[in-house]
């Protein structure tokens, strides 16, 4: 069974983005600003970029095994 990891970052600051790895291979990555047309997409969650990554892989949210987020005091 393949390990599927969705990485999310930047939600409370700037440049939110998402990346999807399956068995250690990068499948898709995107920055939220490309979808919402707002430079740096400050204070936004990476909804559209995560959706894009899942669509590129042809999987559903339930297929993700791990969601990885950075830990830093500014992130919470």
The predicted structure's pLDDT at residue 61: 97
Residue 42 neighbours by CB distance under 10 Å: 14
The predicted structure's pLDDT at residue 13: 72
The predicted structure's pLDDT at residue 42: 78
The predicted structure's pLDDT at residue 29: 96
The predicted structure's pLDDT at residue 43: 78
Domain ranges for the chain: 4-57
Can you list the residues of the chain whose pLDDT is less than 50?
Answer: 76
14 carries an active-site annotation:
yes
Q: 5, 14, 36, 51: which one is catalytic?
A: 14
- Sheet of strand 25-31: strand arrangement: 25-31, 17-22, 4-9, 66-68
- pTM for the complete prediction? 0.83
The predicted structure's pLDDT at residue 45: 83
- CATH match of 4-57 with 3.40.50.150: no
CA distances from 37 to 16, 22, 44, 75 (A): 13, 28, 12, 23
């Amino acid at each position: 069974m393949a390990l599927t990891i969705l990485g999310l970052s930047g939600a409370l600051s700037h440049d939110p983005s998402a990346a999807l790895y399956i068995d250690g291979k990068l499948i898709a990555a995107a920055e939220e600003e490309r979808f919402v047309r707002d430079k740096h997409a400050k204070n936004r969650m990476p909804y559209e970029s995560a959706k894009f990554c899942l669509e590129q892989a042809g999987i559903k949210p339930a297929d993700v095994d791990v969601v990885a987020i950075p830990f830093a005091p500014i992130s919470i």
